[in-house]
Amino acid sequence: MKIVDVTAELIETIWTFQEKGRCTVDNVKNEHEGDPGYIVDDEIIAELERKGLAKIDGVEITLTDEGRAQARPIIRRHRLAERLLTDVLGLSFEEMEESACEYEHTLAPGLTEAICTLLGHPRECPHGSPIPEGDCCKRTEDSVKTFVKALDACDVGDEIRISFIRKADPILISKLVSFGVSPGKTIKIRQKFPAYVIQMEHTQIALEEDIAAGIYGMKI
């Protein structure tokens, strides 16, 4: 038996499409076509409007303020779960999707904050989509430092297990990954001045300071 909160699934879908531009009723239907265990048709979509969560205008559907307020924590849990699964547990993109969908419904608020803090309040999921801020992200950064910190806040000699790379530039990230600098890998900081030098096994890599500042990890 599988119980699906269809409303939650639908407002999540609308949020995601709206983020990329706009959402149509067909987008919603196509997105959920063939999902096992539940049916998305005009009737169930119209139900969102009756509940005051969305507004249908011609072919387009948009979330109301109430719809956004309800979708926001679901999106946040989903994307934080993605970060946790890829960065800390080292799952592949394919493996993580199903689990992330489970977590988005089951993570308790306190646990969500703990995971967010553990990961250093990441702003983006592994796909590059923004993670809505939680209360924990607005509080002082102090509590973060004990868990994950940026390389520029670490000391020479520290061994760091990389948690995530916070850099918007995909070319830079793929470059780092091609050198083997990716989440889950362990590096050692050899030098911080005049340039950052990190060591991975027998390879040493020199990095500019702003790049080092975007690499986050946990000291081991």
Judged by CB under 5 A, the residue of 116, 119, 160, 162 near Zn ion is 116
Binding mask 60-99 for Zn ion (x = CB under 5 A): ----------------------x-----------------
The verdict on 136 binding Zn ion (CB under 5 A) reads yes
Record the tokens describing residue 133, joined without a space.
Answer: 């801020």
Full DSSP string of the chain:
-----HHHHHHHHHHHHHHHS--BHHHHHHHHTT-TT----HHHHHHHHHTTSEEEETTEEEE-HHHHHHHHHHHHHHHHHHHIIIIIS---HHHHHHHHHHHHHH--HHHHHHHHHHTT--SB-TTSPBPPP-HHHHS-THHHHTTEEEGGGS-TT-EEEEEEE--S-HHHHHHHHHTT--TT-EEEEEE-SSSEEEEETTEEEEE-HHHHTTEEEEE-
- Minimal distance in Å, beta carbon 83 to Zn ion? 8
In angstroms, what is the minimal distance from the CB of 136 to Zn ion? 4
Please identify, using beta-carbon distances, which residue of 75 and 215 lies nearer to Zn ion: 75
Q: Is 138 one of the binding residues for Zn ion (CB under 5 A)? A: no
Residue found under tokens 């499409």: 17
Find the part of the chain contacting Zn ion (CB under 5 A) among 5-13, 19-27, 116-124, 180-188. Answer: 116-124
By the rule CB under 5 A, 125 interacts with Zn ion = yes
> Of the two residues 32 and 121, which places its CB atom closer to Zn ion in the complex?
121
Considering the complex, what minimum distance in angstroms separates the CB of residue 79 from Zn ion? 5
Which region, judged by CB under 5 A, interacts with Zn ion, from 5-13, 42-50, 108-116, 162-170?
108-116
Q: Tell me, what amino acid is at 192?
A: K
For Zn ion, give the closer residue by CB, 52 or 90.
90
CB of residue 131 to Zn ion, shortest distance in Å: 8
Kindly list the residues in this chain that would bind Zn ion in the complex (CB under 5 A): 82, 116, 121, 125, 127, 129, 134, 136-137
